[in-house]
Structure 1
Amino acid sequence: MHSRPAYSYRSDPAVPAFADDHALIVFDGECIFCSGWVNFVLRHDSQGRYRFITAQSPLGEALYRHYWLDSRSYETNILIENGVAFLKSEGTLRMAAGLGLPWSLSSAMRIIPRALRDPLYELVARNRYRIAGRRNACFVPTPEHRSRFIA
């Protein structure tokens, strides 16, 4: 897996400028499974730690390309925290850890090598539309949560 230096997107002219003062979750807005995860995070993120953007947005697509990901299949959520991108199982476990107890206990799963965790993540990601379905349009946040989304 390739990695980039922290905040590398700031110097990439293809990535529109955005507020990166909070951790950002980039997700497939057409995926019901992914949208369910976002709703879960919104319900449990009492500190307002995370901001969100759909992968289908211009910024989401630019971030996927910046991190050498396919900007059409969206088979991983991206967590950008302190300017660093975390993908697949690592990103998901870090997201859960940021929600506090009891969700932070999931960090214990990081003792399992990524080489074992990521294939399971990839299996779910490849089958996410079969598991939960697909929206005809991108996820739209409720008015209550609109401020947590980057346009």
Structure 2
Amino acid sequence: MSKWPDEDVILFDGVCIFCSRWVRFVATRDTARRFRFTPIQSDYGAKLAQTFGIDPDDPDTNAVVHGGEVFMKSDAALTVLSQLPGWGWVRALFAVPRPLRNAVYNLVARNRYRIFGKYDACFVPDAELRARVIE
């Protein structure tokens, strides 16, 4: 895949309560405000999803563009966390084999609506976070 023009963009399922909490978790800790966010339900998010091979109508992963590359599943989560102040230690988790990490990721992803719930529509961030959302 060619390099993506936008940097440090997190693609997430905007109707998933767990995913929306993940965005708020990252935004709160991202003191440099480097990450921006796009719900898969937005035009921009759907375009990214399709480019990355993610079904916008049935997303099974979040994704992050970082360093011009696309990371998905556990690689995406660890890449994002490792960039946050005080969270560099998570880089050590890259030593866990990807198939094992992704098995855990997939288990949560498959059951996220049942465990955490689902919004009727994309969550609406507060004004500060809204400035970092790409639609």
Normalising by structure 1, we get a TM-score of 0.85
Whether 1:61 and 2:46 are equivalent positions in the alignment is yes
Q: Deviations over 1:118-137 (max 9, x none)?
A: 11101100000011000011
Q: Which has the larger radius of gyration?
A: 1
Aligned equivalents of 1:29, 1:69: Cα separation in 2? 14
Same amino acid, percent of matched pairs: 42
Q: TM-score, normalised to structure 2's length?
A: 0.95
Q: Give the whole-Å Cα distance in 2 for the aligned partners of 1:144 and 1:92.
A: 22
**2:118 match:** 134
Q: Tell me the CA shift for residue 71 of structure 1.
A: 1.7
1:71 paired with 2:56, answer: yes
1:133 is matched by which residue type in structure 2?
G
Match of 1:87 among 62, 65, 72: 72
Tell me how large the CA RMSD over aligned residues is.
Answer: 1.1
Paired residues in the alignment total 135
Counterpart amino acid of 1:148? Answer: R
**1:88 Cα shift?**
0.1
The answer to whether residue 17 in structure 2 is matched with residue 28 in structure 1 is no
Q: Tell me what 1:13 maps to.
A: none
Q: Runs of at least 4 residues of structure 1 off by over 3 A?
A: none
1:49 corresponds to which residue?
A: 34
